[in-house]
Chain A
Amino acid sequence: MSETPAITTRDLAKTYKDVRALDGVSLNLAPNRIYGLLGRNGAGKTTLMSILTGQNFADRGTAEIFGHTPFEHDPTLARLCFIRESQKYPDDFKVRQAFSAAAIFFENWNEQLAQDLVKAFNLPLNRRIKKLSRGQLSAVGVIIGMASRAEITFFDEPYLGLDAVARQIFYDRLVEDFAQHPRTIVLSSHLIDEVANLLEHVIVIDQGRIIIDSEAEDLQGAAVTVTGSAQKVEEFIAGYPVIHRDALGSLASISIRARLTAEQRARAQILGLELSPVSLQQLVVRSTLSSQSDREQTTERQAIK
């Protein structure tokens, strides 16, 4: 692609005291797509987004937004919006005032959208932000992120404290607004199943390392769980990369990375094996677990026994 990438990082690394938050992160994000930044809590998602928005610094490596280093570069920063999950607001601010401030800074701010969302989330505009519930606080962040219509918008675990209905409102509005006003969206989440269908590209980070960086469609249906008699399952999966094994007596349930053809599916049926798709969430969980060191895995297994 000849167009400037929205986000490029090369070998980013960041360490907090004894924690390796980022470890050699190299990424390339194209503009006007929805990216999922997935991983466990503390995997490095927030650190990565802070560095990309110039709020934090890397110990090593480079990060560029539309070809510019974001740190202290106002023209580049003006194209970004990143409300963190634990965002602080001035103590004396009311909800209404937080939106007034956002309207000052974000050039594409859409007041109508903000107001619609306030209604949808049932947010009390005149209440002080420090008196809001966790869900309402998340809603403030979501509204600023959406209504900013910034060229690159980061959502950092935007659903904390929001109930299922409110989360659905968020996802629906996001799809709707993105369709009308395409922009680059980075959605950080550990509730993967909820957002899976919105994503065009999936980045999974674990212990500061990127362990998956693929198109969503390459992950959908890219793995399958084969369940049946252990011997037959082993026979069927021979030669495929295994991402997870479970056993119960003579039964085995093994997830493999494979896109099965109709013939293979038929063969599985002949062998009496059951095939079930592996969801993105399961795939991420399995990949995360298998990316951990062997020693840790052994300890874990022993703990289970």
Chain B
Amino acid sequence: MSRIMKVARMQLINKWTFIGIPLIVLAGSFLFTLAVWYLVRRGGGEGTLYGGGAQAPMWYFLALGIQALTLTFPFAMAMSVSRRSFYLGTLALFGGCAMVLAVFYYLMGLLEEATGGWGVDGRFFALQWIAENNWLTQILFYFMLTVLLFMVGFYAATLYMRWRTTGVLVFTIGLGLALLGTVALITLTESWPEVGRWLAGWTAAGVTALGAGLAVLLAGSSYLTLRKATI
């Protein structure tokens, strides 16, 4: 068995972390949303109900991305694993988990539509903007989102491993300045309406492609950063 696969196996030693907790987070937020919807209907609320709780497990992946690095990386080094094997093994495992999650979302979305929004016309999984696309786009969208969030966490953590607090600080401040600059630019040129139109023009496929590109960029940079990281 290659050391890359061994890394994935090591990450899975504590099955709760990768499988149990995301499922609980998802089930919890789903049941909670259902309960709220039920109460809203009882109280006479009308129209389609939306719940954003489906994102919860994805945000958990961001935290996992950080944890996989800060704690598991030093341990993997002690297990005599190269940075490359650690990186590939961890990414492969997360990729697999993200794919499972994406397919699961898609299937739940189908179920949601078939049951008329769980009997209360609620939208938890099949948010319209996504659900109106074909199956492949839907699955890829969920997959991309999960991987992207994981990569954000992972990348922030690699910055930390390599340059400690300074690295994270410089990165965050830099990102903040860039965002502020963009906002300022748009405001000063009074181009908000155009930006609004431009944003509305994005299709799910387009967002998926953009997000995937970003995730690949983060993956590449985190590898280059990790290669020279010490513990």
Contact = CB atoms under 8 A, between A and B. Distances in A.
B197 interface: no
Interface in B50-89: 67, 71-72, 74-75, 77-85
A291 B214 CA distance: 55
B81 A77 contact: yes
Interface stretch (B2-10, B113-121, B185-193, B204-212): B2-10
Contacts of B67: 90-91
B14 interface: yes
Given A55-B231, A56-B230, A89-B71, A80 B80 contact: yes
Interface in A101-124: 101-102, 104-106
B17 A74 contact: no
Interface residues of A, number: 34
Given A88-B71, A92-B17, A82 B78 contact: yes
B164 interface: no
B8 to A, nearest CB: 10
A88 B75 contact: yes
A264 B80 CA distance: 52
B104 interface: no
Contact of A87 (B14, B78, B227): B78
Given A50-B230, A56-B230, A90-B72, A101 B13 contact: yes
A55 B77 contact: yes
A205 interface: no
Interface string A141-157: 00010000010000000
Interface in A64-102: 72-74, 77-84, 87-93, 97-98, 100-102
The secondary-structure label for the interface of chain B is: helix
Contact of B79 (A50, A97, A101): A101
Contacts of B3: 74, 78, 105
Interface in B179-231: 227-228, 230-231
Nearest to B67: A91
Interface in B81-133: 81-85
Contact of A57 (B6, B17, B81, B230): B230
A53 interface: yes
A117 to B, nearest CB: 17
A228 interface: no
Given A87-B74, A88-B75, A91-B67, A57 B228 contact: yes
Contacts of A55: 77, 230-231
B13 A93 contact: yes
B14 A90 contact: yes
B171 interface: no
Given A88-B231, A92-B16, A101 B75 contact: yes
A54 B82 contact: yes
Contacts of B78: 81-84, 87, 144
A26 B174 CA distance: 43
B80 A105 contact: yes
Nearest to A91: B71
Most A CB contacts (10 A, CB to CB) among B6, B67, B80 go to: B80
A90 B75 contact: yes
Most B CB contacts (10 A, CB to CB) among A84, A88, A89, A98 go to: A88
Interface in A21-80: 50, 53-57, 72-74, 77-80
A77 B79 CA distance: 9
Nearest to A79: B80
Contact of A81 (B75, B80, B230): B80
B79 A102 contact: yes
Given A89-B71, A92-B16, A105-B3, A150 B80 contact: yes
A95 B215 CA distance: 35
B231 A97 contact: no
Nearest to B70: A88
B145 to A, nearest CB: 25
A144 B77 CA distance: 13
A53 B231 contact: no
B220 to A, nearest CB: 17
Interface of B: 3, 6, 9-10, 13-14, 16-17, 67, 71-72, 74-75, 77-85, 227-228, 230-231
The 4 closest A-B pairs by CB, nearest first: A88-B74, A105-B79, A77-B80, A90-B71
